[in-house]
Amino acid sequence: MTSPILSIENLTIGLPAGGDRANAVEDVSLAVRPGEILCVVGESGSGKSMTASAVMGLLPKGLPVRSGRIMFEGNDLLTLPAETFRALRGARLGMVFQEPMTALNPLMRVGDQIGEAFRVHGEKGDIRSKVLALLEDVRLPDPPSIIGAYPFRLSGGQRQRVMIAMALALGPSVLIADEPTTALDVTTQMQILRLIRGLQERRGTGVLFITHDFGVVAEIADQVAVMQHGRVVEHGEAAQVLNAPQHPYTRALTAAVPHGRARPAETHAPEPVLALSGVEKSFRRGGGLFRRGSPVQAVADASFTLVKGETLGLVGESGSGKSTLARCVVRLAQPEKGEILFHGTDLLPLGRAAMQPYRARIQMVFQDPYASLNPRRRVGDIIAEGPVTHGVPRDKALARALELLALVQLDAGAMERFPHEFSGGQRQRIGIARAIALEPELLIADEPVSALDVSVQAQILDLLDGIRKRLGLTMLFITHDLRVAAQVCDRIAVMQRGRIVEIGPTAKVFGAPEHPYTRELLDAIPGKAWTPPLEAA
């Protein structure tokens, strides 16, 4: 075994007084060897990103390093003078961040931003041709035109390629990647993972890869370290940690990963609740007083039927129109064409007043548990607001809200508190309670677990499934995560560029996909060769 190129030894980083724990990172030791990928995996708040920031010397002010060393190429990074450290950053140590949409300077051409990496490290000569070669390396189409483009012209995946090109520009010996694919679509994620893998193998770079996704770990890791509450709880070879986890936390985490096996099919009475036919919705982009914008077809000719008690999964990548379609059903968006039959009544021509009784019967759970609750209102009022609007007396609605909180496993004290006092998972529980307060027949869940940590995700999925069974709900479940879809849906509809390209029973769509795009999506599931081990009782 070669000696490590980067080794973090007993690193402890403090938190400001009054935090939920004394140290953000406690006694962490990790080693990255040349040509090897070390995945640090953990849930939000586990200290994994903080560890990466410490290596780059990019810790936020006010977080002191209490003890430990970070040895890199013979120096302790923590004791280096600022200027010496700066010269290492970008040259010997490269870093790629999570959010490609905001990680590039919006006012600077892509070529200049990559070229800057060369210039600030004193490279002379033909920088343009070096940048072109790099863009070629990260397989961006048409490098000469990309070099002069501003970041906003590029998609998320393309921007992440630019970031990788920038990080690898001067051939660093260590690349730090902090959740580099988390914000990307599943097919793009796979391309970026392969790209990092390929470049890293060819150049012999050591990679410190931060992620929360065990699928990604299974896809690319050589070594895995699992972090919880600022500590490394398990550390070892990838195969070992993934398939035979030792620490209870690792076992719980891997068990919570959606297994992706289709659930046993349930039989439902053929009583249609919702029937869509030929729904079309387009938006106009740009335009003004003198010019109409160019139309963008968000949903094209969408048709499907949902029978009572059934869960239909709507899967697709961002921009595929799945959320727009859901918004059309609840009439948050107005389709141009088609029929949306709810128990045989077409909802589309209904006016505001005529729609009102149906609003209670169709409810929605939204993706972002942080943004979808009014921060100035108490949880009890948030849950009771719907019924009160529909004519239920206030005290009765509040009493009902209390019951609902119990149903979503929150304690009664939550009634008087504000949304910001809850964690993401708890807020999503509130969101669910709010939706079912109106006793809907049809629940539309728009990416309800995408913003949550994997263990919380599993809890919310269980909760949703329990409530669905208990209340006999029919559900339209929107997700980009195929593993999740397989677990909760009876049938799956795959959307691509506004069209439903394939629809069928879950087992069939996963087992024998017919449309090439469905196959592409399934191929892109990270770590699909790995099956999470069942938790030993």
Partner 1 sequence: MGAAKLLRFLAARSVKAVIVVLAIVVFQFVLIRLAPGDPASVIAGQSGAADPLFMQQLREQFGLDRPMHEQLLIYLRDMATLDLGFSHRQQQPVARLILERLPATLLLTGTAFLLAITGGVALGVMAARRVGRPADSAITVLALTFYATPIFWVGLILVLIFSVWLEWLPSFGMFTVGAELSGWAHALDVGKHLILPSLTLGLFFLAIYARLARASMLEVADQDFVRTARAKGVPEGRIVRAHVLRNALLPVITFAGIQAGQLVGGSILVETVFAWPGIGRLAFDALLARDYATLLGVFFCTAVMVVVFNLITDLLYAVVDPRVEVA
User: Dihedral sign, CA of 483, 246, 19, 13?
Assistant: negative
Distances (CA, A) of 390 to 124, 302, 356, 508: 71, 31, 8, 41
Q: Where are the beta strands (DSSP E) in 60-212?
A: 65-72, 75-76, 93-96, 174-178, 206-211
Q: Judged by CB under 8 A, how many residues of this single chain contact partner 1?
A: 33
Which residues, including other chains, have CB under 8 Å from residue 272's CB and lie 6 or more apart?
305, 306, 307, 308, 341, 343, 344
Structure tokens, 292: 């109409």
Nearer to partner 1, 164 or 524 (CB): 164
Q: How far apart are CA 161 and CA 138, in angstroms?
A: 6
Nearer to partner 1, 1 or 289 (CB): 289
- Of 104-112, 263-271, 479-487, 504-512, the segment contacting partner 1 by CB under 8 A is 104-112
- Smallest CA-to-CA distance from 396 within 408, 405, 388, 404 is with 388
Residues 256-295 that bind partner 1 (CB under 8 A): 286, 288-291
Task: Give a three-class secondary structure readout of 286-354.
Answer: CCCCCCCCEEEEEEEEEEEEEECCCEEEEECCCCCCHHHHHHHHCCCCCCCEEEEEECCEECCCCCHHH
Least distance in angstroms from the C-beta of 476 to partner 1: 34
- One residue of 12, 32, 77, 97 binding partner 1 per CB under 8 A: 97
- One residue of 42, 47, 68, 94 binding partner 1 per CB under 8 A: 94
Provide the CA 179 distance to its chain's centre, in angstroms: 10
Helices (H) then strands (E): counts for the chain: 19, 20
Using rule CB under 8 A, residue 2 touches partner 1? no
Least distance in angstroms from the C-beta of 207 to partner 1: 15
- Smallest CA-to-CA distance from 307 within 339, 343, 265, 340 is with 343
- Of 163-171, 251-259, 352-360, 410-418, the segment contacting partner 1 by CB under 8 A is 163-171
Provide the 8-state DSSP code for 80: S
- One residue of 8, 88, 192, 404 binding partner 1 per CB under 8 A: 88
- Of 80-88, 206-214, 454-462, 495-503, the segment contacting partner 1 by CB under 8 A is 80-88
- One residue of 54, 104, 135, 164 binding partner 1 per CB under 8 A: 104
- Smallest CA-to-CA distance from 106 within 151, 146, 149 is with 151
State the amino acid at position 260 in one-letter form: G
Using rule CB under 8 A, residue 90 touches partner 1? yes
Residues 165-194 that bind partner 1 (CB under 8 A): 166-167
User: Dihedral sign, CA of 256, 260, 265, 270?
Assistant: positive
Least distance in angstroms from the C-beta of 99 to partner 1: 6
Least distance in angstroms from the C-beta of 211 to partner 1: 18
Using rule CB under 8 A, residue 13 touches partner 1? no
Using rule CB under 8 A, residue 121 touches partner 1? yes
Least distance in angstroms from the C-beta of 105 to partner 1: 4
Using rule CB under 8 A, residue 107 touches partner 1? yes
Least distance in angstroms from the C-beta of 170 to partner 1: 9
Least distance in angstroms from the C-beta of 119 to partner 1: 9
Using rule CB under 8 A, residue 105 touches partner 1? yes
What would the x/- binding string for partner 1 be over residues 40 to 69, using CB under 8 A? ----------------x-x-----------
Least distance in angstroms from the C-beta of 221 to partner 1: 22
Q: How far apart are CA 368 and CA 366, in angstroms?
A: 6
- One residue of 65, 78, 80, 120 binding partner 1 per CB under 8 A: 120
Using rule CB under 8 A, residue 81 touches partner 1? no
Using rule CB under 8 A, residue 163 touches partner 1? yes
Q: How far apart are CA 74 and CA 55, in angstroms?
A: 14
- Of 106-114, 182-190, 380-388, 404-412, the segment contacting partner 1 by CB under 8 A is 106-114
Using rule CB under 8 A, residue 368 touches partner 1? no
Using rule CB under 8 A, residue 106 touches partner 1? yes
Cβ-contact 504, 304 below 8 angstroms:
no
Buried b (16+ CB within 10 A) or exposed e, 119-141: eebeeeeebeebbbebbebbebe
Q: In what order do the strands lie in the sheet with 206-211?
A: 93-96, 174-178, 206-211, 37-41, 223-228, 231-237
> Rule CB under 8 A: which residues touch partner 1?
56, 58, 86-91, 94-95, 97, 99, 102-108, 116-117, 120-121, 150, 152, 163, 166-167, 286, 288-291
